[in-house]
Amino acid sequence: MMRNGKTGEAGALAAGAAGTVAGRAAGAAAGAQGWAVGGAAAAGGAVGAGLRGCAEPLSTAYDAALLDLDGVVYLGGDPIPGAAKALGEARRGGMQLAFVTNNASRSPSAIAAQLTGLGVPATAADVVTSAQAAAHLIADRLPEGAPVLVVGGIGLRIALRERGLRPVSTAAEQPGAVVQGYAPGIDYGILAEAELAVRAGAWYVASNADATLPTARGLQPGNGALVQVIVTATGTQPVVAGKPERPLHAEAVARTGARRPLVVGDRLDTDIEGAANGGADSLLVLTGVSRPADAVLAPPRRRPSYLAHDLAGLLEPHPEVTAAGGEFRCGGWSARAAVDSGQLELTGTGAPIDGLRALCAAAWSADGITAEMAAPALRLLRFPA
Ligand SMILES: [Mg+2]
């Protein structure tokens, strides 16, 4: 049985920032030589240290995009305008695409069919799910053919079988592990079986720990909420495979064979933090959950390497934010954090995304920036709420 990809990864975080908040302008262009062999760690600057410049389009500077789906490619089933076109161009330019999702309920082939229907041609092999990452973790620990109790949907069952494991539904079958992922039909009976199995010593694994699930009606309980049933009853916490934990990222890197992966996501707390945990650079797009204010206020582990409105940002060079004397400049904008006076100052004109880049760099250089301090500068940029 294959070992988990995470064991082969290079050290996650390069030590120490490079002295400027902005990444090196030459970083991406020279990047081919700058990456740790066999791993995803950037040698040119600390991952998570801040925004980087990239002198060439991201789609040529990085060999693979590890793309989140909801909020990036589609939004609740509707395609995000321009996403299919941008991904097609990135792919034609040589960038490999992988679709990496915390959703464990659907099979990779079902997700690939949905993507293809939205104008983003994909095969099952292009889709990496938290169910697959969870199955991989379990396969590394249990012998081939071992019974695994499934609380969840078809995606988990398929992933277990692909790894040579045997999905079961009762504690009486003495499963070596319990794996739990969201599915709409989970009932008391299967939760009770899982609880009995965990209490009897089965290893407890969760596909992901998302507290909520975005739906057309709003936020509904996600797998992280359902997991709490077992946690409350047994006192046992699960090992989590999905973002922001490392196994799913490692699975995606192993699947693509990426040497220089770029994680692309809409959530700072899953996609971007997951990239940092995996030692990869990341692009935050503003088409989903995280808003410009969230980026400005992001704690260090949740700071993306790049910012863009949407996936068209893959096809562009990214300007460096330059820092001098406490002033952070990008495009026509200049930002400064004056924490003593309680202000985040922004002046200038030009593309709002450049203003946001300058603002993030300034905010991340200081401690104690609050939403109130950031609000006036963000209003100047007029991003949609
Ligand atoms: Mg998302």
Is there a catalytic annotation at residue 68?
Answer: yes
pLDDT by 10s per residue, the chain, length 385: 343 333 333 333 232 232 233 333 333 333 332 222 223 333 334 444 689 999 999 999 999 999 999 999 998 889 999 999 999 999 999 999 999 999 988 999 999 999 999 999 999 999 999 999 999 999 999 999 999 999 999 999 999 999 999 999 999 999 999 999 999 999 999 999 999 999 999 999 999 999 988 777 888 999 999 999 999 999 999 999 999 999 999 999 999 999 999 999 999 999 999 999 999 999 999 999 999 999 999 999 999 999 999 999 999 999 999 999 999 999 999 999 987 777 899 999 999 999 999 999 999 999 889 999 999 999 999 987 6
Report how far ligand 1's centroid is from the alpha carbon of 368 (Å): 28
**Shared domain check, 336 and 311:** no
- Inside any domain, residue 109: no
Q: Are residues 178 and 96 in the same domain?
A: no
pTM for the predicted model, two decimal places = 0.85
Report the separation in Å between the CA atom of 166 and the middle of ligand 1, taken as the mean of its atom positions.
30
3-class secondary structure, 308: strand
Gap from CA of 222 to ligand 1 centroid (Å): 14
- Between the CA of 194 and the centroid of ligand 1 the distance, in Å, is 28
Residue 356 lies in a domain: yes
Give a yes or no: residue 199 inside a domain.
yes
- Give the Å distance between the CA of 69 and the centre of ligand 1: 6
Instruction: Judge contact between 318 and 90, C-beta under 8 A.
Output: no
The CATH number that applies at residue 43 is 3.40.50.1000
Last residue of one domain, picked from the residues 315, 345, 368: 315
Which residues place a Cβ less than 5 A from the ion ligand 1?
68, 70-71, 266, 288
Active-site entry in 68, 126, 266, 281: 68
Q: Is 266 a catalytic residue?
A: no
Same-domain pairing of 197 and 250 = no
Number of domains observed in the structure of the chain: 3
Going from the Cα of 265 to the center of ligand 1, the distance in angstroms, rounded, reads 6
Same domain for 202 and 135, yes or no, is: yes
Question: How remote is the CA of residue 76 from the centroid of ligand 1, in Å?
Answer: 10
Last residue within a domain, chosen from 186, 214, 240: 240
In a domain, 351, yes or no: yes
Identify whether residues 249 and 233 lie together within a single domain.
no
Q: In sequence order, what DSSP letters do the residues of 249-292 get, joined into one string?
A: HHHHHHHHT-SSEEEEES-IIIIIHHHHHHT-EEEEESSSS--H
Residues 264 and 357 reside in one and the same domain: no
Query: Of the residues 63, 70, 210, 266, which is catalytic?
Result: 70
Q: Which of 240, 263, 288 is at the close of a domain?
A: 240
Residues 153 and 228 in one domain: yes
CA distances from 257 to 51, 123, 192, 250 (A): 25, 17, 40, 10
Residues 96 and 158 in one domain: no
Whole domain around residue 42: which residue ranges? 7-102+244-315
- Could you tell me the two tokens for 237? 């916490």
Query: In whole angstroms, how far apart are CA 229 and each of 134, 135, 218, 237?
Result: 19, 21, 22, 11
